[in-house]
Amino acid sequence: MRRATAILVSLALVVGLPQIAILYVALFSSGWAAPIVLFLWLLPVTPLFLMFFFPWRALPPVVPAIAAIVSMAVTGGLVWVFYNTD
């Protein structure tokens, strides 16, 4: 399970890199929506923090895996909103 979690966390980070780059630019021009943009900006790295920076809590491997899946789903939705031209 730990190997699958590591793969999901890595995939969430790779998928979320364009989101981080796009929202970095939007952070400075977002005005009152800056907290929402900041939350979406930090979402792709949240599974990485859960997996590597909280080892003393002994989280089960399912927690970072679920965070990675949620992160990829939000990234997919954000990309769909940005690039949907219908």
Please write the tens of the pLDDT for every residue from 17-73.
888 888 888 878 888 888 888 888 888 888 888 887 766 567 788 888 888 899 889
Is 24 within a domain? yes
Query: Nearest CA to 4 among 53, 57, 56, 69?
Result: 69
- State the pLDDT at residue 82: 79
Q: Indicate whether 86 belongs to any domain.
A: no
In a domain, 76, yes or no: yes
Domain, as residue range, for 46: 2-51+58-81
Q: How far apart are CA 58 and CA 70, in angstroms?
A: 21
Domain-embedded: residue 69: yes
Residues sharing a CB contact under 8 Å with residue 46, sequence separation 6 or more, in sequence order: 67, 71
Q: Note the pTM of the prediction, 2 decimals.
A: 0.76
Pairwise CA distance, residues 42 & 15, whole Å: 13
How many domains would you assign to the chain? 1
